[in-house]
Structure 1
Amino acid sequence: MNSPKNELSPEHREDLLKTLKIRFEKHKNRHAGLDWAVVLEKLESSPEKLWSLSIMEETGGEPDVIGHDPKTGDYLFCDCSAESPKGRRSVCYDRAALESRKEYKPQDNAVDMAAEMGVELLSEEQYRALQQLGSFDMKTSSWVQTPTEVRKLGGALFCDRRYDTVFLYHNGAESYYAARGFRGLLRV
C-alpha cells in the first residue's frame, strides 16, 4: 500500500479531503460527537488510508465516518452511498467462485476487490449497524462477510433493505447481478 502508485497527488489529496469534510459536516447523525479536526489529523498521517478512501470515492461509495473504536482509536469509514457502489457491482463473491464459472464470468470478485482497495467487506453486524444511520440498498444489495462453513458449501451472504427491514440472504458465491456489489469498511 505504501508504493508510489498508491499515493495521491497533492491536488487529488486536497480535493478528496474537501469532499470528505463536506460529507462529514452534512451527515452529522452518522458520527455524533466526533470532531473533523481530529479525524483530519489521523487522515493526514495515513497516506495509504487516503488512497483507499480515494478508491472508495472513485467507485461510487461516498465514504463517511460512521464511528470511532475507543479500544484502538480508529475512526471507521464506510461506504454510505444510497445504493451499493456502482463501480463495484456485477461481481461474484470471491476468487474461488470466479474461477468456478465456466462461462459468462464477471470482471472481478468482491473479496479480492476489497483487499486491493485496502478495505474490509462489512460483516452482517456492521451492515445492520450502518442501516441504523440511514436507509441503504433500497434497490440494490451488498455482499457481506460469509462464515467459512457456508462458503465451504458453495454459498455466500448478502444483505439489502426492503419494506423498512434489513434482510440477510444467501446465494451461490459464483452468482453476480447488476444490482449487487459490496460496501467497504476502512479503519483509520
Structure 2
Amino acid sequence: MKKSSTGKRQLPLEQEEALLETLKKRFGKYSKRHKGIDWNKLEKKLSENKAKLWSLNEMERTGGEPDVVGYDKKTDEYIFFDCADESPKGRRSVCYDHEALESRKEHKPANSALGMAEEMGVTLLTEDEYRELQTLGDFDTKTSSWIITPSEIRKRGGAIFGDRRYDHIFIYHNGAESYYAARGFRCALRV
C-alpha cells in the first residue's frame, strides 16, 4: 500500500492498471449484473477515486470478486458488491464486531467482520442489499455471510447472516461472538 501526498490509500500504478483490467473483464463477462452502465464512464470515475480503487483492490485481494451492480442517479455513484460465488475466502472465520471479539475469553478469531470492513474502507451488505445480490445469481450455496445487524438485535448479543439453500434466501441469527470456517462477509462500496 502506498500513501499519496494527501495521505490517502493509493495503489501503485501497475497494481491499479491490473485491477482495472480485472474489473473490466468481469464487467464484460457478467453484463447482466449492470445493464445500462457504460464501462468507459465507470473507469473514468474509478481512476479519479484512488482511495475507492484501493478499497476495491482489498475486496479483490480477499476473494470478493467485486463487480458493479448498480448506479445511484441521485448521488452519482456506482455501486459494487462482492460477487464471488461463496463468501470470500480471505474474510471467513470472523465474528461479527469488535465487541463480540473482545467478549470471547478463549479461541478468539483473528478479526471481526465490521473491523475488517472498516480497515478495507467498505461496508457489509444490508439485508436488502444481500437479497438484491441474490437476484443476480446463486450466492452462498455452501457458505454464509454476516450482514448489517439491526441495533435491537445486536443489543441483545445477536447478529444476522444470510445464505442460499434449497433455492431460497435465508436470513438467520447467531451470537455475534460466533465464527465458522464457512462464514465470512460480503462488502458494498459506492464510487
Which TM-score band applies after superposition, normalised by the shorter structure? over 0.9
Alignment of 1:44-59 (within 5 A): 44-59=47-62
| Equivalent in the alignment of 2:148 | 145
Alignment of 1:150-169 (within 5 A): 150-169=153-172
| Equivalent in the alignment of 2:69 | 66
Aligned counterpart for 1:97 among listed residues 89, 95, 100: 100
Distance in 1 (CA, whole Å) between partners of 2:123 and 2:74 is 18
Conservation of the 8 A alpha-carbon contact between 2:96 and 2:159:
yes
- What does the per-residue CA deviation read over 1:138-175, in whole Å, with 9 as the maximum and x for residues that have no partner? 00000000011100000000000000000000000000
Equivalent pairs counted in the alignment come to 188
Length-normalised TM-score, structure 2:
0.96
Residue segments in structure 1 that go unaligned for 5+ positions in a row: none
- What does the per-residue CA deviation read over 1:28-71, in whole Å, with 9 as the maximum and x for residues that have no partner? 00000111001001101000001000010000000000001111
Instruction: Output the amino acid matched with 1:73.
Output: D
User: SS of 1:106's equivalent?
Assistant: coil
User: SS of 2:55's equivalent?
Assistant: helix
User: SS of 1:71's equivalent?
Assistant: coil
Residue segments in structure 2 that go unaligned for 5+ positions in a row: none
Alignment of 1:124-139 (within 5 A): 124-139=127-142
Matched-pair identity in %:
63
Length-normalised TM-score, structure 1:
0.98
| Equivalent in the alignment of 1:17 | 20
Distance in 2 (CA, whole Å) between partners of 1:20 and 1:179 is 26
Instruction: After the TM superposition, list the runs of 4 or more consecutive aligned residues in structure 1 that deviate by more than 4 angstroms.
Output: none
Instruction: Output the amino acid matched with 2:171.
Output: L
Instruction: Output the amino acid matched with 1:69.
Output: D
| Equivalent in the alignment of 1:182 | 185
